[in-house]
Amino acid sequence: MQKRKSRFFSGLLAGFILLGMTLGCIAFGAGESRPKVIAAKPASGSVDESTLLNIYDEVRTPYKYGVVLKGSGKGEMVDCPSVFEKNGSWYMMYVANDHMVGYQTFLARSKDLLHWSKLGCVLPFSKSGWDAWQADGGVALVDPQWNGSHALGVYDGKYWLSFIGGAKQGYETDPLSLGLAWTRRPEQAAPWQRLAQNPVLSPKQSDARSFETKTIYKSQIISDPDQSTGWPFVMYYNAKYKNGFEQIGMAVSADMVHWQRYGADPVVRNGVLKKNGISGDPQVVRIGKFWVMFYFGAGWHPRAFDTFAVSRDLVNWVQWNGPELVKPSEPYDHVYAHKPWVLKTGGVVYHFYCAVGNQGRVIALATSKDLGHAPADPNIAEP
């Protein structure tokens, strides 16, 4: 009976995906026109203050362990951690910008989430085209279950990442668009294969919404087996328009290749009155029956910090307005403490983030339990 149920649900999912792909192909036609923005569905239930407080108590990380990864030299900045587990080891995808040329994407490995060894580059400069000098990637389809497997999901026999790409050198030089790449061996430090259809989302596309007409930033893609949006794959990303005001929007896909924007408005925005807020680098996990989005803020509170929002349906989000999850407090993060990747394993919450301070732009860690402090040089090879 169990096998029959499994086949039924697998067939049902395949049917939904096929239908979505068919509709997507109809909307895209021969690739000459963009589909219309999908209308967002109404809220399916509220999120009360007690739920927000309970989630805050679950995810808070008051103990700063310190810097766990930094650049190879004074001119190299590292940024944007995303973490997964495979074959008994932890892997961190991160990006590095050496002497302000542009971002490339790299891989590091750890046995304990504290001590990391750099493995090499997985998304180098293409040196031509729309992503010639910016290739800022993060893993996609990580198991979103809180305290879950932390494994990467597979679609079409491939592991996936999404990345922001740009044709100009510098530090995230506008305009930036979103692309996808894949591999069959995510634990290896070898270049991932970029999609021929890239970029999949661009600020210059005809369906770009008002808040994403200048540049598109960091994204995360999750798999939603319940298809609460009507689609199996959901992407969140921050974007900006001409005055620098950044907000988080969403898009959906049936096949990880063709993406449609979802909803006319952002799903998370802050600093609206002065239009000077930044809400960015979303990471989404599932805690009980709620979806939780970790993201960073700047402009509407002092400096840059990490916080969260909660949703029942992946579309309508209620923002936490209480204490920050991490904020500037130490010499190594006194300027910025932002861009979260948060996970729980072994009874401990690990909050990786980009720290900017007296050691430059580095990756630091805060935890829910006191694990001591990082060594003076975090770039020590594993035993």
The answer to whether residue 43 is domain-embedded is no
Please tell me whether residues 141 and 188 are part of one structural domain. yes
DSSP string, 50-116: HHHHHHHHHH---EEEEEEE--SSTTEEEEEEEEEEETTEEEEEEEEEETTS-EEEEEEEESSSSS-
Q: What is the mean pLDDT of residues 285-306?
A: 96
Please tell me whether residues 14 and 150 are part of one structural domain. no
| pLDDT tens string 256-287 | 999 999 999 999 999 887 778 999 999 999 99
The answer to whether residue 375 is domain-embedded is no
Please tell me whether residues 5 and 52 are part of one structural domain. no
State the pLDDT at residue 380: 53
Please tell me whether residues 144 and 273 are part of one structural domain. yes
The answer to whether residue 363 is domain-embedded is yes
| pLDDT tens string 80-127 | 999 999 999 999 999 999 999 999 999 999 999 999 999 999 999 999
Please tell me whether residues 212 and 241 are part of one structural domain. yes
**pTM for the predicted model, two decimal places:** 0.91
The answer to whether residue 200 is domain-embedded is yes
Q: Which of 268, 353, 307, 276 is nearest to 78 (CA)?
A: 353
Number of domains composing the chain: 2
The answer to whether residue 39 is domain-embedded is no
Please tell me whether residues 212 and 289 are part of one structural domain. yes
The answer to whether residue 119 is domain-embedded is yes
The answer to whether residue 23 is domain-embedded is yes
Please tell me whether residues 29 and 52 are part of one structural domain. no
Please tell me whether residues 68 and 26 are part of one structural domain. no
Please tell me whether residues 15 and 102 are part of one structural domain. no
Domain holding 339: CATH number?
Answer: 2.115.10.20
Domain that holds residue 79: 48-367
